[in-house]
Structure 1
Amino acid sequence: FAASRLARFLVNPGQEHQDAADRVIHYLSHTRHRALRFGGPGGLTVASDASFADNTLDRKSSQAYTIRLFDGLIGWRASKQNTVTTSTTEAELLALAQAAKESLYVSRLLKELTVQMDDPTIRIDCDNTQTINLVTAEIATLKTKLRHVDIHNHWLRQEVQGGRIQVKYTKSTDMIADGLTKALPAGKWNRFLYQLGLEDIQEKQQYSRKQEGIEARLQKTEDCLGNAGSTGTY
């Protein structure tokens, strides 16, 4: 989220932007030992979220998605929507369309790479019930004057009815993409890191280096003994 927000001020950054960038670099330096954890079901799990009209300069909404495979994060994006929406539902709908398109591309790529998945259906988590109803209900009408939003709505309904994607409700507290659309307090931030599957591997790295050192010394001892055994008087 921080990188996405700072990227909007690349043309004419001020001192406050420099200070914020320094804090981001400081945070990255202190968390350099964190790594993504993998190991789980072999299906694509996607999360989509939007923060309605949170940009005070132009009132455009922020959107984000995450893509997980084998319970590990393989794709994510946080960005600002290209157009102003007039409701939370419209913002969530655009975010959902972006997540669906990207996940369908990833699904086709994995198929070409012959990656075996437990279920080919793409499951997308969404925390807005109105948006879910618009794309899953048998009869649903979106009242909007934004033509492109209506087009995205019909495209999503087409993909859902075709069985290529499945949209299900997830509570906002369990929405993994939420941390990519807004700044979170410390408690929620730690939960967000856990949801991403980021864990500190510093102790594992230290143990691995220690084991490598022991193995190197053992190998050196064996080499010395071997050289001593091959030396003699004939």
Structure 2
Amino acid sequence: MTQTELRPQTGLATPAEIQRYQRKVGSILYIAVNTRPDIAFAASRLARFLVNPGQEHQDAADRVIHYLSHTRHRALRFGGPGGLTVASDASFADNTLDRKSSQAYTIRLFDGLIGWRASKQNTVTTSTTEAELLALAQAAKESLYVSRLLKELTVQMDDPTIRIDCDNTQTINLVTAEIATLKTKLRHVDIHNHWLRQEVQGGRVQVKYTKSTDMIADGLTKALPAGKWNRFLYQLGLEDIQERQQQSRKQEGIEARL
């Protein structure tokens, strides 16, 4: 996809066009949810036009499929040091049609990405801090669920506290301060703020600052320029395994001849 925002078309799509687009996006979503976090943002945007897609949307879906075809040898790397680490990010009011913000989170276990999501927030926020708070709350809820699941599976963690990376210092100050200081007229944002403070004070969640350049979830909230794309793939742990596959096939051929 390009960095140009997709917009609704003014005409009406035919049933055949709708079906064709829905099949494309359905396939893209399946891959985005299961193995390819690098297209999560694109899949989220494409899924907004399932009812009345135009040619612009068809072309955007085709570009994602073309990209997947040319990068089909990329796979997630698993295994390594570290426990459960999470990252959350938001892109404030980036949707020009309704000025709702995009949000995303990633969950990494033992240095391998096991969960991610890119979505649009359900409400309009009035500041970057509010948007980041909602994104942080979503990431915390998902990571607490994963933590409980790991406990049921008797997976031992060196540190039971969940660390969540955030690149907004004001948001971190709000959830870690001894006294709540958020002033907002949005009741649900205030509720999320107090819930996050409760989890932080209870020692279940720790929110840590990370630079935007090191924020892994950043590429799930916006279309990155080409210059930043390879670094994003590296952060996700998406490696090209084509050479490894070729070596494996050669080895299998040698063993078969012995």
Do they fold alike, i.e. is TM over 0.5?
yes
Which structure's CA Rg is the greater one?
Answer: 1
**Cα deviation, residue 38, structure 1:** 1.9
Q: 1:115 aligns with which of 150, 155, 164?
A: 155
Aligned equivalents of 2:191, 2:199: Cα separation in 1: 13
Query: Alpha-carbon deviation of 1:115?
Result: 1.4
Deviation at 1:191, TM superposition (A): 0.5
TM-score normalised by L of structure 2: 0.83
Q: Name the CA distance, whole Å, in 1 between partners of 2:96 and 2:82.
A: 40
> 1: distance between equivalents of 2:158 and 2:238?
24
Q: Deviations over 1:20-57 (max 9, x none)?
A: 00000000011110111122224110000000001111
**In the aligned structure 1, how far is the partner of 2:174 from the partner of 2:229?**
31
Q: Does 1:83 align with 2:123?
A: yes
Deviation at 1:141, TM superposition (A): 1.1
Aligned counterpart in structure 1 of residue 232 of structure 2, from 170, 173, 192: 192
List runs of 5+ in structure 2 lacking aligned partners. 1-40
Structure 2: distance between partners of 1:36 and 1:67: 13
Task: Name the Cα RMSD after superposition.
Answer: 0.8
Matched, 1:34 2:74: yes
Alignment partner of 2:195 out of 155, 169, 173: 155
CA offset at residue 179 of structure 1? 0.1
| Runs of 5+ unmatched residues, structure 1 | 218-234
Q: Secondary structure at the match of 1:183?
A: coil
> What is the rounded CA distance, in whole Å, between the counterparts of 1:215 and 1:72 in structure 2?
31
Separation in 1, partners of 2:53, 2:210: 37
Residue-by-residue CA offset, 1:101-154 (whole Å, 9 max, x unaligned): 000000101111111222111000000000000000112311100000000000
- Whole-Å separation in 2 of the counterparts to 1:118 and 1:202: 35
Q: Kindly provide the CA deviation profile for residues 71-123 of structure 1, in whole angstroms up to 9, marking residues without a partner as x.
A: 01000000000000000000000000000000000010111111122211100
Larger mean Cα displacement after TM superposition, 94-103 or 8-17: 8-17
Percent of residue pairs identical: 99
Contact 1:132–1:168 under 8 Å retained in 2:
yes
Q: For residues 92 and 137 of structure 1, what CA distance do their matches in structure 2 show? A: 16
Deviations 1:149-188 (A, max 9, x none): 0000000000000000100100111100000000001111
Q: 1:114 is paired with a residue of what secondary structure?
A: coil
Give the SS at the match of 2:136: helix
Are the counterparts in 2 of residues 42 and 116 from structure 1 also a CA contact under 8 Å?
Answer: no
2:168 aligned with 1:125:
no
Give me the TM-score of the superposition, normalised by structure 1: 0.91
Query: Number of residue pairs matched?
Result: 217
